[in-house]
Chains A and B, each alone.
Chain A
Amino acid sequence: MIRFENVTKLYKDKKALEDINLEINHGEFVSLVGQSGAGKSTLLKLIFAEEKLDSGRILIDEVDIASLSETEIPYLRRKIGVVFQDIKLLPKKTAFENVGFAMEVAGYAREKIERDVPRILEIVGLKDKIMNFPAEMSGGEKQRVAIARALAHKPVLLIADEPTGNLDEINSYEILDLLHKINNLGTTVILATHARDLVNKIQKRVVTMETGRVAYDQAKGHYKL
């Protein structure tokens, strides 16, 4: 589904990613681990074209991202759901509106939005918080809204960048559980995280990054280091 071929990414003159080769298949659950600054977020941003690479290529379903025109990129993004590391919820919108807004952008009709959003929020466990604003929610609840938003347009790929960032263990496991469920329904999931215990529990593929390179890639991995 996704293939990185000798990908290098520079920020100004500083190398954030160097010679990355990686293949991720449909339906996989991949954990991306590594120290802060190792390049996890950068790697993910290249997939949904928030950042551009400097050399190499990234193929999604055999299509080179660099070959996509400005008008095609939005359609690539609609196939991907992203939970951003900095969450990016709009403070002046309720949970419902934050999710509905993303569906509007993707061109869904009002009726479908009104039908689907409460369901999705129920799936992520926020049935009672539909009309709450982000400021009225806990960190874990906000993460769930972000996950709901990422799922709203039924993506084939879910990218979750540190979705358990500041959460306690129980909350983190719940989020992880949620991601598993989504994966079991057929969505490919890439999870970037620091949380050692979490990764060790997953028992699925782990890609470990060190200073911009892929250091290990294990089918049933553990958090090394």
Chain B
Amino acid sequence: MGSLALYRAIKSGWINFWRNFWLSAAATLVMVITLSILTLTLITFNVTNVAVKNIQERVDISVYFKGKVAEPQILNIKSHLEAMPEVASINYISADKALSDFRAKHAGNALIEESLAQLPDNPLPATLQIKAKSLDQYPAIATELAKPDYQTYVQKVNFEDNRTVIERLSRVLNTVKKLGVGMAIIFSFIAVLVIFNTIRLTIYNRREEVEIMKLVGATNWYIRWPFIVESILYGIAASIITILMTIPILNYLLPRLNLYLGTMLNDQTSAFSLSHIFLLQLGIALLLGIISSTIAIRRYLRV
């Protein structure tokens, strides 16, 4: 296609777009609804996903040792535990390290510093922080630590079982995925139908013109392009409107979520970058538009 033909196709498509304003508005609106559902699903899905990962990362088993247990003994237990297939990693924090961390954390707090100075010994225990390879392996590790062999050394095992929270979140995640994808498919279908009908009407309104164009020697694509351009314009209009609606929502939501989850969502996944969201919206809108117009053209534009 030459640049002249391209220019004429765009011009003609532009005229089609504006010729029947309310119809074009309706076509754009359903597309906006479809894109909004899709965007909302995507954002919710990603937020939940990040939340789950976040909590998973925070889960661990902390083993606090009695004061008199010597470091080689602890390291011995550490390597014994590391041999377990369930264990992913173990972090050893010596009593001295725990104390210096504590001091660093409360530096400048005169009361705490004074109290610490008065104590004859280091009051803090040595600790092993154990991470399992997956969530459901924590109980196995906890069971191992509950064995009598460890009782002589271990002062306390701290295992906060977050599995129920995580499972609940995972269920939310699944529901969001199913519901969102389901709704998006339904609305995509509606959008295709509405745009298909709009293009069909444009073809009907322009049937005289199309017939004459054919008879004076227009190529098939010269006749088809304006209708495809029209559907592309619906897609562009809809994705611009949707992204303009997405911006304030993200601006409101992201800082609050970041605060709540203690993360930088924008850094963790590109799913929250506006340009990515816009490109995705535009891509889907164009795809739906082109599918609709192609079907309408095949059925109603006899060239």
Chain A residues with a Cβ under 8 A of chain B: 48, 50, 70-71, 74-78, 82, 84, 88, 90, 101-102, 104-107, 109, 149, 153
Contact = CB atoms under 8 A, between A and B. Distances in A.
A106 B216 contact: yes
Contacts, number: 50
A183 B8 CA distance: 33
B4 to A, nearest CB: 6
A16 B119 CA distance: 117
A76 B303 CA distance: 15
Interface string B210-251: 011111111110100000000000000000000000000000
Contacts of A71: 219-220
A105 B216 contact: yes
A50 B4 contact: no
Contacts of B220: 70-71, 74
A106 B8 contact: no
Interface of B: 2, 4-5, 8, 208-209, 211-220, 222, 303
B208 A109 contact: no
B217 A77 contact: yes
Given A104-B8, A107-B4, A88 B215 contact: yes
A78 to B, nearest CB: 4
A50 B8 CA distance: 25
B19 to A, nearest CB: 11
Contacts of A102: 212, 216
Given A104-B8, A105-B222, A153 B211 contact: no
B215 A109 contact: no
Given A74-B218, A104-B8, A106-B216, 10 more contacts: A50-B215, A71-B219, A74-B220, A77-B216, A101-B212, A105-B217, A105-B222, A106-B217, A107-B2, A109-B4
